[in-house]
Structures are given as C-alpha cells and as structure tokens.
Structure 1
Amino acid sequence: MTTKYSKLVDVTRCDGCRACMVMCKNWNDLPVEPEEFKGSYQSHDKCGANTWNVLTFTEHETENGGFEWLFRHSACMHCTDAACVKVCPEDAMHYTEFGTVNTNYDKCVGCGYCVQNCPFGIVQLTTLVDEKGKEYEQAQKCTMCVDRLQEGMKPACVEVCHMDALVYGDKADMVALAEERLAKVKDRYPNANIYNPIGVDGTQTFYLLADKPSVYGLPENPKVPTSATVWKDYAQPLGKAMLGVTTMAVIGGFISNKLFNKQGEEGGNHDE
C-alpha cells in the first residue's frame, strides 16, 4: 500500500510574508507574470499557469466589530478523487507514488478538460512554443515539488516557511498535528475547522482554517462533477471497447464536451 503524504496549511500561523510564492517561482523556474495593481495587498487574483501558489489576503470583520487580515496559501489541493485525473483523455493527469496529482507533459494535449472540471479552479493552460515555432497548450499547476520529494526533500514552499504554517509529512501525522493545533486555537478562533473535503475523498493539501471555508474563498463542499464520473467510469471504457483507442480519442472529445457544457447546471463550483 502506497503511503500518502500531505501538506498541512495552518492559516493561524501565516504572517503573509509571501516567501512560499517566491520560493515556488524560483525552484520551478516559472516566468514572471505581471499583473495590474488593483489597490490590494494581494499580488495575484488567483493561481495561474505560471503562478502555482498565491497568498490570498482577506479583510475580515470580527464578531466584536474589530478587523483582521486573514491569509491563505492557495495552491493545488491534490485531491484523492481528482476530477482532473478522471476527465483526462490521455492519462496525462495522474497520481504519483506520494498520493499527489501531477501532469505528464509528454502526454498532455492541452484539451482543457482538467481546467473545466477542477472544483477549486486551480488548473490552468499555458501557451508554449515548440522547436518549429508552433504554439501549443499544456495544463499547469503545483506539482508539490515531486522532484524534491523523490530526493527526500520537502516541497519548496514548506522548506522556506519561517512560521511553520506549512508542514509536510505522512498524512496520518499531518491530520493528528492539525487536530492538536485546532484544539489550541479554538479559544481565539471559535469557528476554526480542519478543511479536508470528503466530496473529493480528502486532499493532500489540507487546511486548518480560522473561520468557515467560504470566508477564505473555498467551496464549502466541493465534489467531483457528475460529468467527470460519467466520462471516466462509463463513456470512456465503453467507447474504447467498441471503437478502439484512436477512434475513441475523437468521439470521446465530442462526448466529453457535451457532458462538460452541462456542468454549470449540475452545481459545479469553480471558485478557489
């Protein structure tokens, strides 16, 4: 049985320094992504193809009429039941030996189904240029620094966090640590909770939040879209059996587009 590892994000310890963002850019050699100044402390609206984690700043009014900043390290959640893995027609989105979700760039064809179905709105497409000057698209997101994990190192963002707000290790240990920390902050944050949504069978990046998820821009009960389950468990296997892999790639695109266009009617949530 594969041991699952997780990153615990304890927002009650975060001081908003953004070191995790800088370290992520440096380690993964991600290009600069300038954004227009919007009069906010937050540098980017959300994660993007070239910005794999974003520190969010939320102005929050306390119950006694006071004011405080709420910070959140936002990145790929690495769902245990990942919609992006279910809908990928090329098996480019896959689970790693660490229980995280990564992209095989050699297989990715830039179809965008992962973007459309991510319940957290994290996966994005980037435009690249091949050696012949032809443009193509690929799905991009946080990899949990799988290259570092394979060498026995921690993810870059965890390594640089000076507040111990980001912690990485065996998932069972991280859950126990989250529960221990939750008990300690309940007096200060009565609404504090552990965010490890069961609708996606838990996530490998999970949170200790000081307030309810929606306050931090997170969906209260994210789920794998019905269209993704239909595609992975029924349409794709049946089509491959009847038509062969090559023909299915064409027909499957048509089927999945029809399914995904109905996603909004099914209540899919694409907010972070």
Structure 2
Amino acid sequence: MTEYIKYVDVTKCDGCRACMVACKSWNDLEAEPESFNGTIQSHETLTANTWNLITYQEKEMNGRFEWLFRHKSCLHCTDAGCEKVCPENAISYTDYGSVVVDYDKCVGCGYCVEGCPFDVIQLTHYIDENGREQRRAQKCTLCTDRLDEGLQPACVNSCHTDALMFGEKDEMLALAEKRVKEVKERYPKAHIYNPPGVNGTHTIYVLVEDPEFYGLPKNPKVPTSAKIWKDYAQPIGKALLGVTTMAVLGSMVSNKFLNPYHGGGDSDEQK
C-alpha cells in the first residue's frame, strides 16, 4: 500500500497564513478571534476549530535576527496515541496514513486529548439535533475528503512558496533530505523531524533548530500504558464482557423457559 506524507519546509515559509485561511474555509470551521497578546501570531495554539496555525519566533542567527515560522497541525502519527486510548474506536487510520475521528462514535470523553504527545486534538462543544449540548474531538484530517477526489490538502494547495508539499512517502523524504543538504551551510542544525517513537509521522518537517525550539517534543512516544490498554486490555475486556453478557442472557433464557416455576414446564403440582 502506498504511503503518503505532507512535507513542511520551514526554510521556505514566509508566514503568510494562507494555509490557515484555506483550512478554515474548506472545513467550514468557525472563526475564533483572540485578544492581542503582544505578538504577531494570530492564535496562541491549536483548538478544535483551528486545525492549523503558523507560529512566529524571532531568533538571532548568523549575526542577525530572523523570523522562524512553523506550520503547526496534526502530524498524523503512524502509531497514534489518540487512536490507542480511544475507548469507542472512534479514531482510525485511513489508507493515506491520515488519522481521523468518526464523529458518530465519539463520546467526548477526552482521553485522546490526554493521549496526544503533540497536544493537537481538542474537544469542541456543539448542540445535537435534540437540542442537547455534546462534546466531540476534532482536529486536522489531512483533508482526507479531498484526497479521495484526487486533490491536494487545502493547506498544501494554498501555499505559494512550496513550503508545504504532499506526495508519496519516498518522494517527500528524498525532497527533505535534499533540502537539508542545501541549507546546512546557512543552518548548521538543519534536520528532518520524523520521530521514530511514534513509528514516524505523515507530516514531516525540515527544521533549522532543535524540535523544542518549535514547541515539538524531541522524541515523542505513545505511553506504554496506552499500548497495553489498546492492544491487550481492551480486546480482552470486550471479549470477557461478551462472555459475561452471553452468560447473563443464557441464564435469563433458562430461567424463563426451562425453570418450571416460570411457566417453562410442568411442576409436580401441575402434573
């Protein structure tokens, strides 16, 4: 099966925010105005209705100050913590490698928020068709609906500097490796961010500083407890629940139809 990757080159991003606008527009996400916080960054962080964000950081490099931007969104981990901890199997992987939420299954428990090593997925409140307030998890889908139609993700399609690209895994990794070599003289710390602790991601970066500078964990991992829960405890628990349920139903059936005192047969007094 062909794997796909979104490639983010921070050395080409000029902070225009076109990707943010395209994401909001395509996914019909509500606007979230924030008070001025003394910086030019539009939002403090990602939310359930802001799925991608350009971060702005100024740093002295090579004797001068430079703005370093990062396109911040879901990385779509190959081994996703949010998917591991979801008790309702509402989070799954697609053939493209994207990690998506099934809104019909999501119960808004918030375990995924705690399980994400990148602090990406968040809960939103909404009113259902019965007028009741509900919660559900929302985040970037890598525009899976557009991919189904042979289109690029909306953010990639809007990028005028080719800081965002999308394609087959091998091709994108080759581009990233080539770019690191091109910028090494200017940015000695340049490297590819594709953390092995989550078996790699389907959004990779060319960074020019340590991951922590950009607010990224150095070596994110899915907690062992989450793996045990998803891969062992949950399946066993459901199996046991199934056995228990069948035992209870069997007992009810036996009592109703086979017990002579419940009308299922003739007692000695009835004979």
- Give the whole-Å Cα distance in 2 for the aligned partners of 1:171 and 1:36: 39
Counterpart for residue 253 of structure 1 = none
Matched, 1:212 2:210: yes
How far off its partner does 1:102 sit?
A: 0.5
Q: Is the CA contact 1:3–1:99 (under 8 Å) kept in the aligned structure 2? A: no
How far off its partner does 1:99 sit?
A: 1.1
- Residue by residue over 1:155-181, the C-alpha shift from the partner in whole angstroms, topping out at 9 and shown as x without a partner, is 000001000000000011100110011
- Give the whole-Å Cα distance in 1 for the aligned partners of 2:235 and 2:102: 21
Q: Is the CA contact 1:9–1:208 (under 8 Å) kept in the aligned structure 2? A: yes
Counterpart for residue 161 of structure 1 = 159
Residue type of the alignment partner of 1:7: K
Counterpart for residue 71 of structure 2 = 73
Residue type of the alignment partner of 1:76: C
Residue type of the alignment partner of 1:186: K
Counterpart for residue 188 of structure 1 = 186
Deviates more, 1:8-17 or 1:234-243: 234-243
- Give the whole-Å Cα distance in 2 for the aligned partners of 1:245 and 1:141: 36
- Give the whole-Å Cα distance in 2 for the aligned partners of 1:130 and 1:216: 37
- Give the whole-Å Cα distance in 2 for the aligned partners of 1:139 and 1:246: 31
Identity rate of aligned residues, in percent? 64
Deviates more, 1:134-143 or 1:237-246: 237-246
- Give the whole-Å Cα distance in 2 for the aligned partners of 1:90 and 1:55: 32
SS in 1 for 2:89: coil
Structure 1 consecutive aligned stretches of length 4 or more whose deviation exceeds 6 Å: none
SS in 2 for 1:17: coil
Residue type of the alignment partner of 1:3: T
TM-score (norm 2): 0.88
- Give the whole-Å Cα distance in 2 for the aligned partners of 1:192 and 1:69: 15
Deviates more, 1:231-240 or 1:157-166: 231-240
| Gap change, CA 1:246 and 1:179, over 3 Å in 2 | farther
1:192-203 superposed matches below 5 A: 192-203=190-201
1:23-62 superposed matches below 5 A: 23-62=22-61
- Residue by residue over 1:20-78, the C-alpha shift from the partner in whole angstroms, topping out at 9 and shown as x without a partner, is 0000000000001111110111011111100000000012122x443111100000000
1:51-200 superposed matches below 5 A: 51-62=50-61, 64-200=62-198
How far off its partner does 1:152 sit?
A: 0.2
User: RMSD of aligned C-alpha atoms?
Assistant: 1.3
Please list every run of 5 or more consecutive structure 2 residues that lacks an aligned counterpart in the other structure. Answer: 246-271
Counterpart for residue 21 of structure 1 = 20
Residue type of the alignment partner of 1:88: C
How far off its partner does 1:238 sit?
A: 1.6
Please list every run of 5 or more consecutive structure 1 residues that lacks an aligned counterpart in the other structure. Answer: 248-272
- Residue by residue over 1:175-226, the C-alpha shift from the partner in whole angstroms, topping out at 9 and shown as x without a partner, is 0110011110111100000000000000001100011111111111100012
- Give the whole-Å Cα distance in 2 for the aligned partners of 1:245 and 1:118: 32
- Give the whole-Å Cα distance in 2 for the aligned partners of 1:156 and 1:98: 15
SS in 1 for 2:70: strand
- Give the whole-Å Cα distance in 1 for the aligned partners of 2:65 and 2:244: 58
- Give the whole-Å Cα distance in 2 for the aligned partners of 1:224 and 1:65: 39
How far off its partner does 1:139 sit?
A: 0.4
- Give the whole-Å Cα distance in 1 for the aligned partners of 2:119 and 2:210: 19
